[in-house]
Structure 1
Amino acid sequence: MIIKQLVLRNFRVFRGTHIIDLAPKKRERELHDRPIVLFGGLNGAGKTSILTAIRLALYGRLAFDQSSQQQDYINQLTSLIHNGVSQTQRPDDASIELIFTYNKGGKESEFTVTRSWKRGKKDKLSLLQDGAHLEELNYEQCQGFLNELIPHGIADLFFFDGEKIAELAEDETGNILRTAVRRLLGLDLISKLRNDLAIFTKRQYAKQLSTEQQKKIRVLEEQQNSLGFKAEEHMAALDEINAQIEFLTLQIIKFEGQLSAQGGAFALTKTQEEKKVDELVKDKERLEKALRHECDGTLPFALAPKTLYQLLTRIENEAEIKQTKSFEKELTSFLEQLKADMAFRSRETSIIATEAISDQLEMYMQAKPKGDLLFDISEREAGIIKYAIEQGSKSSWQRFDDYRSELTKVENMLEQSSANIARAPEDDQLLDIFNSLRKLDVKRIEQKNNYRFHIEEAKKFKQQQLDAAKQIQKFHDAERDQYGFVSSLKNAEETIGLLDSYTDVLTKARVKKLEANFEMAYRKLARKEDLKLSAHINPATFDVELVDENNIAINRKLLSAGEKQIYAIAILEALAKTSGRELPVIIDTPLGRLDSYHRDKLINHYFPYASHQVVLLSTDTEVDEKYFVDQLRDDISHAFEIKFNAFTKSSSISKGYFWELTKEIV
């Protein structure tokens, strides 16, 4: 296939008619091909519109979302019509014309696809083959013809943008690649043939049934269709309900944001904070009372340890002084008595003895402490004071310190809670928001209950539909067992079995070829220091596992950004080559996330060889002047520059590229 020409009329940023020549051309006296057609444009100029137009021309609704409703498709088409500078200058219609050659059945034909539409209207589709209208085809048949000519699933491997590469590179689940492999293998066609054969066998069995049995089957089939319709109604209601739930959730988030901005978080906990304050006040009073109790006890003794040490020393000295005085008094009395007794004895002896005793007593008493008694307390009182100072005051101080620390914490918590209460607005200020939130929450709960109801109803009708299908199958199975196979039924049944075997063989062969193509593409694009990756694909589940040169599985998360991009492009190239289709490759914003080294790899080893026709839609920072002049000049057939005019709010396409030197080369 070669896309020869694209004609845009009032499409997106392109006002009026723009004819774009896309067919690659050789230079005179050159033997090698020049496959690349290059478009240059800044962001917003209209590069993506080229890719979108080609996909829309070929696939219609499938270019957007195959699950979208008809009205959604009409709205999307309307949004693609050029808006103009003002409301009065807006065109009311748009069209795309795509001319391409395609080799079908060994014969090359030229096809012209024209898709046109008006605001708020469904599109019209016409198809010419070699200049002749295919008038026998209506819209659906014409679209089906294009889908068979270039299957949508296969074209996804050839017409893509940088976001698709990024999406595939960042896909850690493997779902995107798994879907691409399924489309590539063409299993949907085999499945369709298998279903057609199954329908054929069922109809043949039905012909052999009695009139009464056929009547019962018709009733069951009508019941099955009715149940299926009811199940679909409930499933459709689920989509609408889910949208309402999402809308209500967004509204709730909005009001919660307003609530938070106005101190709503503090308002929600205001009552709790007030209760907490009451408890903290009680704790504070308890601790303050305990502290006062300690102050009334032995705690003051701990406040002046040096002075109290001197006090204890003084008390001990006074105790010794008292003992000394008591001893001196007793001894003096004893001496007086002794002198009286000795008076009756020898005078000289008495004098000598008395003097000796007095001298000894004086010497003994000189060593004893002397002084006045300041306190004159008893021994019991001294013991009480000593215990209070040495032990009681220490215990009291420890309790005092614990109470004080706890009181500090309580006071801090009181301060914080009081601040939270102060931050909370008055209830009247938030009443409207609270009421709105309450109403929205009630509505959301109702919708969730409604959602569950429709889910259960859909399950019920689906189960009843399945039961009806089983009853129909029982009739067919019973008839088949009774009458055996006629030749056509036997052939159909055998063909179904052969299709299953063929599917297995085809899958294994294509998977093996895909693995080889990926390894070849990745080796060509990766740097020497990159991981040496291979792909192992499970033929049953189509799960893709990356392995290194040691056959060890690689976690995609561990790949660098550049390796992920190269991996994605290698996968796309491998899928395209494995498909066996000779289709153009169209890439929008191909180098956006790559470093300079990986860009060099793609410029030198991918773009010139990706296909016989390669359309690149690039910014000036991707395929820059250096790449254009030094590396791609011999592979570029021709180039265009897309310029956006802010005054007219439209873009124009001219020959050449961004810089004068590149225009001279073109």
Structure 2
Amino acid sequence: MVQILELHLKNYRQYEGETTIDLRTTPEKNVNIIEGQNGAGKSNILNAITLCFYDEEIHQEATGEELETLSYVSESVVEGLSTGDSARGYVEVHLGEDNPDYIFKREFETFKVPNGHNDQTYDIELSRRVGNQYEIVTDPQTTLNQLLPAEVRDYFIFDGEALTEFFEGGYKDRVRNGIIDVSHIGVLNSGIDHVEKVRDEIQRKAKNVEGEAAEIQERIETLENELSNLEGKKATLETEKTEVENEIARLEKKLRGASDQGVQDLIQQRDDLREDIDDFDSRIETTKQDILNELRQAGPAVYAMDALDYTVDQLKTLESKGKLPPKIQDWFIDELIEQGECICGADITEGGETHEHLKELKSTMSNVSTDNVEGKTEIPHIIQDGNQGAETIREYRRRLHELKEKLESKDQDLSEVKNKLKGTDIPDDVDVGELTSQLDDLEEDKEDLIQEIGRQDAKIEDKNKDIRSAESQLDEELRKEDRHSDIVTQKDFATRAVDDMKNIKEKILSQIRTETEENLNKYFNDLIWKDDKYTISLDEDYSVEVQGPDSPDNRIGSLSAGEKQVLALSFMAALSDISGFTAPIVIDTPLGRISGNPKKLIAQNLPDYLEDTQMTFLMTDEEYTDEVQGLMKHRVANEYQLHYADGTTEVTSYE
């Protein structure tokens, strides 16, 4: 179990002087607790680790001030400097199992300038243990990338309270990015990019040819430029959509802060109606697909019903005239005549009446089309299937009409609730009416952007088809002359290589998505405080559905802040579990949005949610209550308290 054995701070933020925090744990007691009031420096423990590893502090608020306005070096030290002087400090992280195998260190310096200060950080340093000695590593970043690369750090070191907003607007991109981050497909992506560039270079050799091939190559380059422009427009639209979704999430959070109970009831009605509308939209789309599927099966028979009925009538007429015998094979008649005895026991003597009748029947059959014989048997079944299909389609259409009527009713109810919210005026409280109007405008902007992105997707697909068609024409032209065969062969090989690598990539992402879904279900149901079991689905478009035991509806939009935090925490645990890295986990404020009995149950389960992993929880005194302490104590290796006074924090063992 790789763990943070020690954390050394010198003059970092409020940790004036030298501070050492021993974080060694055991498999049986794998949890550290660092408890402190808000502003005591709890979050800066998290920041110290990310500053050392990644030259970045991820928690950007401190005691109501922006952290970036404060100096890296302790304020009390900087205040004692003269203008032009500087002071240094550092953060040092010892990593290993029993003894430090890696000692990472990053120094920083603060310069006193008129009216303020300037900060500077230095390159990360690494000492690696070799035998009983430590040697300086010349390329520490490579080693860090092997232990805990930047792209997966957010699934090991994170702010628990901020997780509440993880599944707000635009969360699908965050989920997708998480899947990609832990899938280790970076090398594969690089390989795809490289081979695509090689293929393009091979194709550009066609510039050296003449005639039709050269013209086609020029057309391909024009199409590729047009495609690049379309993809750029789509990327801009998606960025705008993300910004709108983030603004919607911000305004929603502000709106939910209204203290009036009537407003809260209206917001809940609005959320419930939105869920109902999403459900009806989904059912309508499913019913439309059912109709299309049934049309594919029964459509030919339904559209040809008049012709089929006419054919049946004609076959009946043939049969009444004796021109359409029953479906009997002529070889069967030959066998009866040869045996001289019917299956009923009657004698078939040559020249006899029965013998002559069978010969006449065989002669008649030879003049009847085989298709007519088959049609007499099969067409009634086709008509029956067509009639059943038509009735099924009629039933689907009735269902579709009912769903649309219910959807329209829900839309009207939603409009009424929104109008009530817009008309709400509560002095000295949140401006509910203005926020609701702004949210309506943003939702319209979001819908417009979604439609425009869809139109860009269609244009991009059409452009890709044009390029593929032009490339096929180019290949045909090049194959006409043997001297160009090498270009075609090399390009074909590169194209197959790209396609194979893309297929491998999709299979990897699909597998990781499936594993994430399985782990997400496990961790959420382990951590959630309710007895009922939930089913969580992670779909191909990276949307997440949370279904309760009593309803198939997706409840992700109506989860409480605490439930969303648990869902995001479970997602982080799922990703860290399958990432392949055995890094320690550090969580700031893991129980920040959770209170009452749920807090007790999560505290009881939290230490066990990732086995064989060192976990350090940075908690406020409101989180780490006596009850929570009692529930977690059996897994706790170290407990520390942060004491803040006169701008300086002291770390002591828990009393």
Normalised by the length of structure 1, the TM-score is: 0.50
- CA distance 1:492–1:164, change in 2 (3 Å): farther
Matched, 1:40 2:40: no
Go from structure 1 to structure 2 and tell me whether the alpha carbon gap of 1:201 and 1:86 turns closer, same or farther (over 3 Å shift): closer
Partner of 2:151: 153
Contact 1:518/1:534 (<8 A) preserved: no
- 1:81 equivalent among 69, 73, 78: 73
Letter in 2 for 1:151: P
Distance 1:4 1:85, change over 3 A: closer
- Which of 71, 93, 109 is residue 98 of structure 1 equivalent to? 93
2:135 equivalent in structure 1? 132
Give the Cα–Cα distance (whole angstroms) in 2 for the partners of residues 517 and 551 of structure 1.
22
Q: Is the 8 A contact 2:103 2:128 kept in 1?
A: yes
* 1:153-302 correspondence to structure 2 within 5 Å: 153-168=151-166, 170-171=168-169, 173-203=171-201
CA contact (8 A) 1:642 1:652 kept: yes
TM-fit CA distance, 1:145:
4.8
Q: 1:115: which partner in 2?
A: 106
User: C-alpha deviations, 1:150-198, integer Å up to 9, x for none?
Assistant: 1223221121113322222555754433432332334444322211222
Q: Residues 102 and 111 of structure 1 are in contact (CA less than 8 Å); yes or no, is this contact kept in structure 2? A: no
CA shift digits 1:48-98 (9 cap, x unpaired): 111111112122258589xxxxxxxxx959732321166224862232112
Instruction: Please state whether the residue corresponding to 2:76 is helix, strand or coil.
Output: coil
Instruction: Provide the rounded CA distance (Å) in 2 between the counterparts of 1:172 and 1:520.
Output: 24
What's the RMSD between the two structures over aligned residues?
4.4
Partner Cα separation in structure 1 for residue 209 and residue 144 of structure 2: 43
Larger Rg computed on CA atoms: 1
What is aligned with 1:626? 627
The change in CA–CA distance for 1:132 and 1:173 in structure 2 (over 3 A counts) is closer
In the alignment, structure 1 residue 600 sits paired with structure 2 residue 600: yes
Query: Which segment is superposed worse, 77-86 or 154-163?
Result: 77-86
Contact 1:197 1:492 in 2 (8 A): yes
Give percent identity, aligned residues only.
21
Q: Is the Cα–Cα contact under 8 Å of residues 40 and 641 in structure 1 kept in the other structure?
A: yes
Is the Cα contact below 8 Å between 2:545 and 2:556 reproduced in 1?
A: no
- Distance in 2 separating the partners of 1:24 and 1:191: 38
* Aligned-partner Cα distance in 1 for 2:104–2:582: 19
Contact 2:5–2:100 (Cα < 8 Å) also in 1: no
State the partner residue of 1:280: none
Deviations 1:181-226 (CA, angstroms, capped at 9, x unpaired): 332334444322211222344456668975999xx99xx99xx9xx
In the aligned structure 2, how far is the partner of 1:60 from the partner of 1:185? 24
Distance change (3 Å), C-alpha of 1:165 and 1:64:
closer
What's the secondary structure of 2:47's corresponding residue?
helix
Shift of 1:564: 2.5
Q: Determine the C-alpha separation between the residues in 1 that align with 2:95 and 2:644.
A: 27
Asked whether the equivalents of residues 24 and 613 of structure 1 are also in contact (C-alpha less than 8 Å), the reply is: yes
The residue number in structure 2 matching 1:499 is 501
Q: Distance in 2 between matches of 1:52 and 1:480?
A: 60
Question: Within 2, Cα distance between the matches of 1:605 and 1:518?
Answer: 15
1:17 maps to 18
Q: 1:134 Cα shift?
A: 2.2
Task: Kindly report which structure 2 residues correspond to 1:409-488, keeping only aligned pairs within 5 A, or say none.
Answer: 482-484=484-486
TM-score for both structures, normalised by structure 2? 0.51
- Pair 1:477–1:125, CA change in 2 (3 A): farther
Match for residue 387 of structure 2? none
Secondary structure (helix, strand or coil) at the match of 1:17 reads strand
CA distance in 1, matches of 2:77, 2:108: 21
Q: Which runs of 5+ in 1 are unaligned?
A: 26-31, 66-74, 243-462, 661-666
Give the conservation status (yes or no) of the 8 Å contact 1:59–1:147.
no
- Give 2:51's aligned amino acid: L
Deviation, 1:578, is 2.9
5+ residue gaps, structure 2: 61-66, 110-117, 244-459
Local SS of the residue matching 2:38: coil
Please tell me whether residue 577 in structure 1 is matched to residue 577 in structure 2.
yes
Question: How many residues are paired up?
Answer: 389
* Conserved 8 A contact 1:518-1:574: yes
Separation in 1, partners of 2:491, 2:59: 41
Residue type at the aligned position of 2:136: H
Equivalence for 2:553: 553
Whichever residue aligns with residue 132 of structure 1, its letter is: E
1:571 Cα deviation after fit: 2.2
Correspondences of 1:335-354 after superposition (within 5 Å): none
Query: Structure 1 residues 101 and 199, CA, compared in 2 at 3 Å: closer, same or farther?
Result: farther
What one-letter code is carried by the residue in structure 1 that aligns with 2:509?
T
Query: Within 2, Cα distance between the matches of 1:189 and 1:549?
Result: 42
The offset of 1:627, in angstroms, is 2.7
Q: Name the SS of the counterpart of 2:104 in structure 1.
A: strand
CA distance in 1, matches of 2:89, 2:605: 39
Q: Secondary structure at the match of 1:566?
A: helix
| Alpha-carbon distance in structure 2 between the residues aligned to 1:42 and 1:607 | 22
Could you report, residue by residue, the CA deviation over 1:263-316 in whole angstroms, capped at 9, with x for unpaired residues?
xxxxxxxxxxxxxxxxxxxxxxxxxxxxxxxxxxxxxxxxxxxxxxxxxxxxxx
C-alpha deviation, 1:144, in angstroms: 5.3
Secondary structure (helix, strand or coil) at the match of 1:484 reads: helix
